[in-house]
Amino acid sequence: MFNLNGKTALVTGASRGIGRSVAVSLAKAGANVALLGRDQAALQETLAAIKEIDGNAIPITADVTRPESVEAAVEATVKQYGKLDALVCNAGAQKLKPFLEMTPEDYRLLISTNLEGAIVTIQAAGRRFVAQKSGVVINMASIYSFVGAPWNSIYCMTKGGLLQLTKALAVEWARYNVRVNCICPGWIETDLTKPYMQDQKTIDSALKLIPLRRFGQPDDIGPLAVYLASDEASFVTGQSFVIDGGQIAH
């Protein structure tokens, strides 16, 4: 229904999981998609999935914890497609540990990827959006932007921060016609959640928390990203959209 023909989107963390699925959905809707990630081989797999549906994409190896590589990725996207219309700020990391056991290495990984990575990526794309007076930012936050969970304190902190960054930037950039929203997934089956799904007891107790009694799949997220990137969402900014099977509705 929503058409992204002629638009260019950059998706961070497009090599796997939610980011890959979002990238494929955007390409299916007609967008040219720049695929950003560190793992070149995995990016090639996303590219192959997009080529299979006759979509357009370029893989760009970059690390969101290195601002210069993010800037270069945005430049490469604009060089390839002539412009940038949408950014999906999706790259993220998680580490489950009791708060008192989080080492500086642990919490710096989460902060540098989930928060600083988002800041530098949104700055790099946002400079262009503000100058051209149009653009869309879609941040991949989480249900943990709203609720807490044991062993997840620093991750919750970063995702809460990303939600607030979304709202503050939506207000700051509305005058430039730049919209900023976030998607807040619940439990989606990806490499990120795989380590917590090893035994049936954990799986059963996690499913009890989800009224729809299933885990989400990466493909549950893409359609909303397509809508938010489209012109049909031109009056939508500063919002968070939860996709969690009802988990935080009770």
Ligand X SMILES: NC(=O)c1ccc[n+]([C@@H]2O[C@H](COP(=O)([O-])OP(=O)(O)OC[C@H]3O[C@@H](n4cnc5c(N)ncnc54)[C@H](OP(=O)(O)O)[C@@H]3O)[C@@H](O)[C@H]2O)c1
Minimum Å distance from CB 122 to ligand X? 13
Residues of this chain that interact with ligand X (CB under 6 A) are 12-13, 15-19, 37-39, 42, 63-65, 90-94, 113, 117, 140, 142, 185, 187-188, 190-193
Q: How far is the CB of 108 from ligand X (least distance, A)?
A: 12
List all residues 6 or more positions away from 152 whose beta carbon is below 8 Å from its beta carbon.
94, 96, 144
Nearer to ligand X among residue 161 and residue 176 (C-beta):
161
- Nearest to ligand X of 142, 240 (CB atom): 142
Choice between 236 and 248, CB closer to ligand X: 248
Query: Left if phi > 0, otherwise alpha if psi is -120 to 50, otherwise beta: which for 6?
Result: left
For residues 141 and 228, what is the distance between their CA atoms, to the nearest angstrom? 14
- Of the listed 144, 155, 196, 227, which one is catalytic? 155
- Closer residue to ligand X, CB minimum distance, 161 or 177: 161
Shortest Cβ 187–ligand X spacing (Å): 5
Half-sphere exposure of 126 (CA within 13 A, CB side): 20
CB-nearer residue toward ligand X: 37 or 245: 37
Q: How far is the CB of 18 from ligand X (least distance, A)?
A: 4
227 has catalytic annotation: no
CB of residue 214 vs ligand X: minimum separation in angstroms? 13
Q: Which residues are catalytic?
A: 155
